[in-house]
Amino acid sequence: MRAPLRSPPGPGAGGHHQVLFALAEALPFAIALVVLVIELTPAHVVYTGPMLVATPALAAVTMGPRGTLAAAGLALAVSVVTATHNRAWGGQQVYTNLLALCLVAAASAMTSRAVRIRRDQELDQVRRIAEAAQEVLLRPVPARLGPVRAASMYLAAETGAQIGGDLYDAVQTRYGVRLIVGDVRGKGLPAVRAAAVVLGAFRESVHYEDDLVEVVDHCGAALRRDAATASAGLAGGEDALIEGFVTALVAQIPDALHVQIVNRGHPAPLLLRDGEARPLAPTVPLPPLGLEEFISGPPGRTDSYPFAPGDRLLLHTDGVLEARDGDDAFFDLAGAMEALRDRTRQSFLEGLRAALLRHVGGRLADDVAVVLVDRCE
């Protein structure tokens, strides 16, 4: 089954967005500081009342109710201090400013709370939709599939994301268990769309194509067809076009003690046997799906490798292999697989997740998809 694992929150939007947001949050407090400087210096002839009244309203734009009340409290304190310093308590203007400040603060706090509640409701709805989409696009891998036991894990690198550009699936067919693991070039909604196209083609073709190469070709044709349709219909609309290519690996595990693999530019899976993990590299490297014009000679071939009871097969995307630590060293997936060799499938995925996140300091740079398959006795 699929492990319900998520990558912990990583960095937010680009650095410039974070800077702008920090400046917006600091603006109300900066205004209060400017007013204080003006009122405590000879420049106090400048009328600063409206500036302080505006601080709670500005705080409500970027901060919650507590931040809004904090800005209002600071503005009120500045008003009291400056009025006392300038001996202005006898004037009606001071009391008018204080009353206006209190009214604006109360209104801003209530507005900020209402906006926060509405935003939380919208985010909760989006999260539920994303989870439903994940169950359709990346549905759970069955724990038992014919002669194998399986489990899977998906970690999205993007903050708040449930799905991304990595894909996987495992299906029981009359030809044996057929699996796919792939990685779309790029991120965001175009990558999700490309993943959906490839998975849809795979789920359709695995049941009637007896040749594994034909299954892969069907996925590539669907990708090219959808790209051409989108390009013609949208005239280059960047947000809706799917990505250009997808690295993919399709495997077939029959009742016979071997595994057949067609690899289209994807990282080689690892086979764990007798405590040693080794990659099942393709005999003839082939380009990813969508780049069929670079294939010279036969369109593809199926490689066969022994896969006996007690063997463990790990299909994965390059988000695992390219994960780096602070010293720019890559994650040792083979070493991790050997270290976790005695664990059950679910415990293995938990351990792999912990080791991977520990290696990268808790922040993934790319999505990670893993499918773990054990050959039964």
What 8-state DSSP symbol labels residue 329? P
CA distances from 201 to 130, 186, 189, 310 (A): 22, 20, 19, 32
The CA distance from 229 to 221, in Å, is 12
Q: What is the pLDDT of residues 283-330, one digit of tens each?
A: 988 899 888 887 776 666 899 999 999 999 999 999 899 899 888 899
Domain containing residue 210: CATH number? 3.60.40.10
Please tell me whether residues 185 and 249 are part of one structural domain. yes
Q: Give the range of the structural domain holding residue 19, as residue numbers without chain letter.
A: 15-129
The tokens describing 238, both together, are 């960047």
DSSP assignments along 172-199, one per residue: EETTEEEEEEEEESS-HHHHHHHHHHHH
Residue 343, in any domain of the structure: yes
The side-by-side arrangement of strands in the sheet containing 258-264 is 166-173, 176-184, 246-253, 258-264, 303-306
Do residues 38 and 173 share a domain? no
> What residues pair up with 248 in beta bridges, in sequence order?
182, 264
For the entire predicted model, the pTM comes to: 0.68
How confident is the model over 216-232, as pLDDT tens digits?
999 999 988 887 776 66
Number of structural domains the chain divides into: 2
In a domain, 2, yes or no: no
Closest C-alpha to 376, from 147, 178, 179:
147
Q: Are residues 358 and 271 in the same domain?
A: yes
- Decide which of 99, 129, 159 is a domain's last residue: 129
pLDDT in the model for residue 237: 43
Task: Please state which of the ranges 39-48, 93-102, 135-144, 214-223 shows the lowest mean pLDDT.
Answer: 39-48
- Contact partners, residue 42, CB within 8 Å, separation at least 6: none
Looking at the structure, do residues 222 and 178 belong to the same domain, yes or no?
yes
Q: What is the pLDDT of residues 73-118, one digit of tens each?
A: 888 888 888 777 777 666 667 777 778 888 888 888 888 888 788 8
Asked whether residue 162 falls in the same domain as residue 266, the answer is yes
In angstroms, the first-to-last Cα distance of the chain is 19
The answer on 332 and 210 residing in a single domain is yes
